[in-house]
Amino acid sequence: MTEKNIDLSVDIAGLKLENPVIGASGTFGFGREFADYMDLNRIGGISVKGLTLEKRQGNKPPRIAETPAGILNSVGLQNPGVKAFIENEIPFLRKFSTKIIANIAGNTIEDYCSMAEQLSDADIDAIELNVSCPNVKKGCVAFGNSTAGISEITGKVKKYCKKPLIVKLTPNVTDVKEIAVAAEDAGADAISLINTILGMAIDIHRKRPILANNVGGLSGPAVKPIAVRMVYEVASVVKIPVIGMGGISSGEDAVEFMLAGASAVMVGTANFINPTACVDVVEGIKNYLKMYNHSSVYEIIGKLQLN
């Protein structure tokens, strides 16, 4: 099969991606940081650094700790604020064909609604509702860890949101399925998961946590099996598209998530180690499809057969 016969494009609730690979929020800056190393046209989308209504400074350093096959981070949503994003970052990103996903986080439901309203009039392609950041004291994950919370915030934001609304879920819950169903019922157009897993690393010589914030979010290869399981669980109970992430650093990793039911994937921590990771994942998916004579990514999405 020739390469041009392989169709990598996917449609996530109206968000049309040239390929199913998206740079994950918080790991891909605003795209420009990676432009020296790769052609941004070659990835399906970029979910930008989590935005808040006003500029935020984030947490005290150290904000990162390396752990076995992973990292803990507690950046705490350092960002220039939604207005500065609209003014300074969208014009750069729009030079490329890659789709722009605005990831938003806030202290209150009103913050989220206000940002959704402003971004609906901006030149972006989708909004990702971050109700799963473990690193801020107020809001955010408090909305995402109960069915009632996620239902309320999704429903209210949906009223202001004129773009496809992706709700990003936390893995730090007992049953991710019921959270996903609550988001779907409240009007989410798609689900993305997993955000980071709450963790802690200790410097035994100082008898203190390594992170200034004491705890942080675990990501990287270490979390991949948990993420694959959760994506599988969610994809089997919702009808809306699922975007999978958690420790993806190769095409093979991405294919696992897609077989488990993800229509697209986000690449996160791998970008820190290898600035061309997203492009490598695109190529890896293509090679897999070629190897098994598939002509479209839809031939593998959700095609997992259980034992």
Partner 1 sequence: MSRVLNERIESIEKIAKSIYRMTVKSEYISANARPGQFANVKCSEGINALLRRPISICDVDKDRGTFDIVFQIKGIGTEYLSQKRVGSEVDLIGPLGSPFHISEEYKRIAVVGGGIGIFPLLYLLKEMKEADKSAFLGFRSSDYVVMTEEFESASDRLSISTDDGSMGYKGIITDLLAEDIADRGFDIIYTCGPMPMIRKVKDMAQKAGIKCQVSLEQRMGCGIGACLVCACKTGKPDNWEYSHVCKDGPVFWSDEVVLDD
Residues annotated within a binding site for FMN: 25, 49-50, 103, 130, 168, 194, 220, 246-247, 268-269
For the CB of residue 61, give the shortest distance to partner 1 in the complex, in Å. 4
CA distances from 22 to 45, 84, 181, 263 (A): 4, 22, 23, 11
For the CB of residue 48, give the shortest distance to partner 1 in the complex, in Å. 11
Binding partner 1 by CB under 8 A: which of 84, 202, 237, 273?
Answer: 273
Interaction of residue 84 with partner 1, rule CB under 8 A: no
Please name the residue that has the structure tokens 């409240």: 186
For the CB of residue 244, give the shortest distance to partner 1 in the complex, in Å. 19
Sign of CA dihedral 191, 120, 100, 170: negative
CA distances from 19 to 63, 109, 239 (A): 32, 32, 21
Q: Using CB under 8 A, which of the segments 14-22, 28-36, 110-118, 230-238 binds partner 1?
A: 28-36
Q: Of residues 113, 133, 161, 278, which has the active-site annotation? A: 133
The two beta strands, 21-23 and 264-267, are parallel
The single-letter code of the amino acid at 10 is V
Interaction of residue 146 with partner 1, rule CB under 8 A: no
Interaction of residue 232 with partner 1, rule CB under 8 A: no
Q: Using CB under 8 A, which of the segments 132-140, 167-175, 259-267, 274-282 binds partner 1?
A: 274-282
For the CB of residue 222, give the shortest distance to partner 1 in the complex, in Å. 8
Q: Please confirm, yes or no, whether 161 is among the known catalytic residues.
A: no
Q: Which is nearer to partner 1, 105 or 234 (CB)?
A: 105
Q: Which is nearer to partner 1, 33 or 110 (CB)?
A: 33
Long-range contacts of 301-305 (CB under 8 A, 24+ apart): 301/10, 301/258, 301/259, 301/261, 301/262, 301/263, 302/235, 302/258, 302/259, 302/260, 302/261, 303/259, 304/232, 304/259, 304/260, 304/261
Residues whose CB falls within 8 Å of the CB of residue 44, separated by 6 or more in sequence, listed in order: 8, 10, 17, 18, 19, 20, 21, 22, 98, 99, 264, 282
Give the length of the chain: 307
Are 270 and 249 a contacting pair, CB within 8 Å? Answer: yes
CA separation for the pair 147, 116 (Å, rounded):
21
Interaction of residue 276 with partner 1, rule CB under 8 A: yes
3-state secondary structure of 21: strand
Interaction of residue 49 with partner 1, rule CB under 8 A: yes
Binding partner 1 by CB under 8 A: which of 11, 33, 39, 87?
Answer: 33
For the CB of residue 67, give the shortest distance to partner 1 in the complex, in Å. 8
Interaction of residue 57 with partner 1, rule CB under 8 A: yes
Interaction of residue 298 with partner 1, rule CB under 8 A: no
Task: Give the x/- contact pattern for partner 1 in 199-228, rule: CB under 8 A.
Answer: ---------------------xx-------
> Total residues at the site for partner 1 (CB under 8 A)?
35
- Tell whether omega for the bond before 90 is within 30 degrees of 0, i.e. cis: no
CA separation for the pair 130, 58 (Å, rounded):
16
Question: Of 131, 137, 138, whose CA–CA distance to 157 is shortest?
Answer: 131
Q: Using CB under 8 A, which of the segments 21-29, 82-90, 95-103, 256-264 binds partner 1?
A: 21-29
Interaction of residue 70 with partner 1, rule CB under 8 A: yes
Interface contacts to partner 1, rule CB under 8 A:
26-29, 33-34, 36-37, 49, 57-66, 68-71, 73, 75, 78, 220-221, 269, 271-276
Active site residues: 133
